[in-house]
Amino acid sequence: MLELYTSEPNTFFLKPLIALAEKPVAFSMRYFDAANFEQFAGAFPSDLESSLHLEREGPLLVHDGTIICNSFFMLEYISEVLPGPSLVPAEPYDAYRARAWGQYLGAHLGSIVPVLGAAKYLQPELAAADAARVDQRIAAIEPIERRVGWLAVRDGTYSPSYLDAVKERLGAPLKRIETALNDGDWLAGPGFSIADIDAYPMLCVLPDLAPAAVNPQTTPRICDYIGRIAARDSVRQALSAARTRHPERQFVPGIEASRWG
């Protein structure tokens, strides 16, 4: 049995939905509202690895009772274990490049985008909600690393100066991607692969979260890349899983940006 525990199709949650649609394979979607703390319910699947992994709040793939977490590892698992076309490049060097991109972008965009999104969208939601309920929910979060991430959104740690510093850190990964796209349409070889599925959900929200950094004048190749991926049937199918009008506005705390300088 294949189950995907996922929230709104954005950032980390969007990646496996695209991969499963590219295969395509049948699976049961277990939707939860990550911004409303539903991943901390007693019946939610969890093990030590999933509770400690850096992406924090999901998604989770459960295959015959085994929990797979970390969205990039999940993409590799979907590609290699499930029937359908491989999403890992066929050439060994290109496969290496795909994994190198996953490592690099996970540590860079993966630590920047959730901060910017949570500051713009999650922080106002928490501020408008019942304060006692929010504080009670956050106080119960374990382990402490996950609780600290939520507290950073709740207590105003996302100051303007901090967010400006986070935005400055977009420069290096965006330049690297823009340069890589000089050599071809995709990040790792001649075809669409897990490298692109991994990169797209972090890039497609940046014209909204950091318009000065990602726009047709500053990053024309990235903007073209975003548009080409958005036009794929698998992406449209993945986005159809949304339960809200604006899935691109749902963010939860991710990797703590200050830890990944």
Residue pLDDT, tens place only, 14-54: 999 999 999 999 999 999 999 999 998 888 998 888 877 77
User: Strand 2-6's sheet: what is its strand order?
Assistant: 28-31, 2-6, 60-63, 66-68
Domain span at residue 151 reads 92-232
Residue 164 falls inside a structural domain: yes
Nearest to 210 by CA among 113, 123, 122: 113
Residue 174 falls inside a structural domain: yes
Phi, psi of 31 (to 5 degrees): -80, 140
Residue 227 falls inside a structural domain: yes
CA atoms of 261 and 248, how far apart (whole Å): 26
Q: Which CATH number do you get for residue 203?
A: 1.20.1050.10
Residue 228 falls inside a structural domain: yes
Q: Write down the pTM of the prediction.
A: 0.94
Residue pLDDT, tens place only, 55-64: 878 899 999 9
pLDDT value for 6 = 96
pLDDT value for 41 = 86
Q: Indicate the SS3 state at residue 83.
A: coil
Q: How many domains does the chain have?
A: 1
Residue 197 falls inside a structural domain: yes
Tokens standing for 101?
């991109």
Question: What's the start-to-end Cα distance of the chain, in Å?
Answer: 40
Below-70 pLDDT ranges, the chain: 256-261
pLDDT value for 67 = 94
pLDDT value for 257 = 53
pLDDT value for 261 = 39
Residue 33 falls inside a structural domain: no
**Nearest 5 degrees, angle CA 173-CA 149-CA 43?**
115
